[in-house]
Amino acid sequence: MAQVETVAEPRVELPVELFKGMVEPDWCPGCGDFGVLRALQGATAKLGIQPKDVLVVSGIGCSSNLPGFFNAYGFHSIHGRAIAVATGAALGNHGLHVVVTGGDGDGYGIGVGHFIHAMRRNLNLTYLVMDNQIYGLTTGQASPTTEIGHKTKSTPNGNIEMPLNPLALALVSGATFVARAFSGEAKHMTDVIAQAIQHKGFSLVDVFSPCVTYNKINSYAWFKERVYKLEEGEYEKTDFHGALQKAYEWGAQIPLGVVYQIDRPTYEDGDLALKQGPLAKLPLGLTAEQGAELIREFM
């Protein structure tokens, strides 16, 4: 019998306003997180993903308020645990597009353990980190990505700790999509986030999202003088060692765009329990009476 070819339905772009939450953002005027919110709204609209098919999970911090400003399912979890919560949600219903949002303190500080293990498992998650190189919510302490010498509320004589390199950590931990964006380049950031959501596997987008209140060094002007787009030159994004070199490029020139992308089986692909489809949509195999009895037992 001849095989019948299936034709994918054409994607229909949706209005960005569809993803606008009922609550207005309350970030400081000029905060880079406004740009990330708009880029995420633009990316989901561009991909034609319905709000009911998106879950946004966050931790704690200024940037972690984002799920409340985005029209989709949302979960505001606890400090450093956003990826753990997102993992549970994604395995419970891997038919959802699960996006994790947070800051450098939340994700690269207290949450760094979950970050590493999610990448080595290659869970199908998209992680947007609003990296402002400072703790903004707690009013200006040094974060894991604060540069050496930076004077902050917690380092009045200058930071003496080497900053964590998010892109390099993602690469060596097994992430299959590693990218960087900048709130000052809105259209480019929207495109990068759209690619990250489309990618099957763990996707990190480290976003330079300037804190206009507590970080007066890594400002929009500072980044605009230094950033350049990888796709505007010759670059092979499947080259691991080339990507690692780009991850360490810092100073006069800082790359934006997709630094690394490969295809590798996801955790979900190998889990036998998920072979029949999303767990949330599978029958429980219980009668109505058994289901009612379970509910009574746990009430």
**pLDDT tens per residue across span 205-222:** 999 999 999 999 999 999
Domain count, the chain: 1
**pLDDT tens per residue across span 75-109:** 999 999 999 999 999 999 999 999 999 999 999 99
**pLDDT tens per residue across span 6-30:** 444 567 899 999 999 999 999 999 9
Q: Is residue 206 part of a domain?
A: yes
C-alpha span between 159 and 129 (Å, rounded): 22
> What pLDDT does residue 67 have?
97
Own/partner contacts of 22-27, CB < 8 Å, gap of 24 or more, are 22/71, 23/68, 23/69, 24/69, 25/65, 25/69, 26/65, 27/62, 27/65
Say what the pTM is.
0.92
Q: Is residue 7 part of a domain?
A: no
Q: Which residues contact 160 (CB under 8 A, 6 or more apart)?
A: 148
Q: How many CA atoms lie within 13 A of 75 on its CB side?
A: 19
**Exposed e or buried b for every residue in 88-105, given b needs 16+ CB within 10 A?**
ebbbebbebbbbbbbbbb
Q: Is residue 283 part of a domain?
A: no
Q: Is residue 269 part of a domain?
A: yes
Q: Is residue 5 part of a domain?
A: no
> What pLDDT does residue 6 have?
42
Q: Is residue 156 part of a domain?
A: yes
C-alpha span between 206 and 149 (Å, rounded): 22
Q: Is residue 28 part of a domain?
A: yes
DSSP letters spanning 36-103 = HHHHHHHHHHHHT--GGGEEEEE-SSSGGGGGGGBSSEEEE--TT-HHHHHHHHHHH-TTSEEEEEEE
Judge contact between 141 and 153, C-beta under 8 A: yes
C-alpha span between 291 and 299 (Å, rounded): 13
Range from 4-18, 125-139, 152-166, 255-269 carrying the lowest mean pLDDT: 4-18
Q: Is residue 260 part of a domain?
A: yes
**pLDDT tens per residue across span 271-291:** 988 888 888 888 888 898 998
- Domain at 258, CATH number: 3.40.50.970
**pLDDT tens per residue across span 50-68:** 999 999 999 999 999 999 9
173 is written with which tokens?
Answer: 């931990």
**pLDDT tens per residue across span 154-177:** 999 999 999 999 999 999 999 999
Q: Which residues contact 81 (CB under 8 A, 6 or more apart)?
A: 59, 111, 114
Q: Which residues contact 170 (CB under 8 A, 6 or more apart)?
A: 119, 178, 204, 206
99 has which bridge partners?
A: 56, 126
Q: Which residues contact 119 (CB under 8 A, 6 or more apart)?
A: 170, 173, 174, 175, 202, 204
Q: Which domain holds residue 129?
A: 16-273
